[in-house]
Amino acid sequence: MMFDAIVIGGGVMGCSTALHLARGGMHVAIVDRGPLCREASGVNAGTLTLHMTRAALVPYAMRAWQMWMNADKWLGMGVLAKQAPGLTLAFTEAECALVELRAKARREQGAPIEVITAERARQIEPGLHPGLLKAGYCEIDGFASAYLTGRAFGHALKLAGVDVIENAPVEAIDSNDAGHVVRFAGGREPLHAKRVVLAGGVWIEPMLAWLGVDIPIKVLVNQLIVTERIRPVMRTVLSVANGLLSLKQFANGTVLIGGGWQGEGDRERGGVEARPQNLVGNMRLAAYAVPALAEARIARIWLGLEAETADALPIIGDVPGVDNAYVIGSAHSGYTSGPYMGRIMAQHILGQTPDLPLFEPARLVGLPMPGV
């Protein structure tokens, strides 16, 4: 039995790709070594902000924002996505310059971001630190509960007739003119497909290696902190000009603190542990931005792996040198744009012209990772 496509990797990129391929008429399987959306897609901060999205990805993020807000309609089940104004904060003169720079770059890409005074920012968000100097403001930001993503996509994929194969680690892909054979660890029967889509996030690097392609993917080990339920202390999605804070309060009162502070871990072991000085730094920044958070008690700290390419732009398109093989992922803040990126990947695979340009994987071949 030959699938039209097998998607390897069940995060938001893979799930969205598989869903759109199935709705486009293909017979699809999606496989993951664990349950769907349990890696980055299930443990990220759920921030849907244009402030922290790379400027070049703003058009994608804006379209994905619509998809997240309307998930009930196209996905069938939501992830509690909520619109909230987004503020990116500047506490020093250097940060003020950064706010202006970042706002301008994103405006050029179509993001409705304006720079506002501290007074106006405090009208929007009264609980901000009195030392605020300036802020970037975007009306159409928001957040979702990432941990609900797997359940939502699981439903939609099964309804669309996708074979969802969880807890099935792939160990090799044999490719030839007829198609691909996806081989599993542990003696499970291999699957055959005309096309294969690699959607493995930080594991795209070893996946590409199965196909003989060498593209380095950097692994970021992001720390996340969530508080217990507290009284309402904020109503916006907050970030800081340097990009190193994400802060939001959910309807249930818990506050999620992120921003990409690094912990210990790697691709092989996953997230291992938080770095104490980075926990302290992240918490200080959060409690500085919203002083009322100082009293909040932390319920849980965890880690998530985020992928980054050598030029910090996504890898979406044809696997270089291999027929009928595609790759999608490694977008900084990929959860934000994920549903839309999966859609345009599927458009490409279905032979249609994607609504927005893809991100040619071939450009990354031979491009060294900065700092290595």
Which residues here bind other proteins, judged by CB under 8 A?
Answer: 35, 38, 42, 52, 54-55, 91-92, 98, 101-102, 105, 131, 147-148, 150-151, 154-155, 166-167, 226-229, 231, 242-244, 252-253, 260-262, 264, 272-274, 276-281, 283-288, 293-302, 312, 332
Which ranges of 190-275 would DSSP assign to H, the alpha helix? 204-210
CB 32 within 8 A of CB 56: no
Q: Tell which residue, 104, 43, 41, 48, has the closest CA to residue 236.
A: 48
164 or 322: CB nearest other proteins: 164
Which one, 179 or 260, has the nearer CB to other proteins?
260
CB of 108 to other proteins, least distance (A): 11
Provide, rounded to whole angstroms, the least separation between the CB of residue 192 and other proteins: 25
| Residue 183 one-letter amino acid | R
Q: Extract the tokens encoding 327.
A: 């790759």
Q: How far is the CB of 322 from other proteins (least distance, A)?
A: 29
* Contact in structure between 70 and 48 (CB atoms under 8 Å): no
Distance of CA 231 to the CA centre of its chain: 28
Query: Minimum Å distance from CB 234 to other proteins?
Result: 14
Question: Which one, of 120, 100, 96, lies nearest residue 108 by Cα?
Answer: 100
Taking the least distance from each CB to other proteins, the nearer of 213 and 303 is 303
Q: Which one, 206 or 253, has the nearer CB to other proteins?
A: 253
Considering the complex, what minimum distance in angstroms separates the CB of residue 196 from other proteins?
Answer: 25
Q: Which is nearer to other proteins, 20 or 54 (CB)?
A: 54
Least distance CB 226 / other proteins (angstroms): 8
On the CB side of 311, how many CA atoms lie within 13 Å of its CA?
14
Q: What is the nearest approach in angstroms of other proteins to the Cβ of residue 105?
A: 6
Q: Specify the residue, 22 or 240, whose C-beta has the smaller distance to other proteins.
A: 240
Nearer to other proteins (CB atom), residue 6 or residue 296: 296
| Closest C-alpha to 226, from 252, 258, 251 | 258
56 vs 314: CA distance, rounded Å: 10
Considering the complex, state which of residue 311 and residue 318 has its C-beta at the smaller distance from other proteins: 311
Cα–Cα distance measured from residue 201 to residue 7, given in angstroms and rounded to the nearest whole number: 12
Give backbone dihedrals phi and psi of 318, rounded to 5 degrees, phi first: -80, 135
CA distance 43 to 54: 20
Nearer to other proteins, 264 or 318 (CB): 264
- Minimum distance, C-beta of residue 194 to other proteins, in the bound complex (Å): 28
Minimum CB–partner distance for residue 254 and other proteins (Å): 8
Q: By the 8 A CB rule, do 136 and 87 touch?
A: yes
> What residues contact 202, with CB distance under 8 A and at least 6 apart?
39, 40, 217, 219, 267, 305, 306, 307, 330
CB of 350 to other proteins, least distance (A): 28
CA neighbor of 78 nearest in space, from 166, 153, 164? 153
- Nearest residue (CB) to other proteins, 254 versus 350: 254
220-246: burial string, b at 16+ Cβ within 10 Å, e else:
bbbbbbbbeeeeebbebbbbbbbbebb
Coil, helix or strand for 59?
A: helix
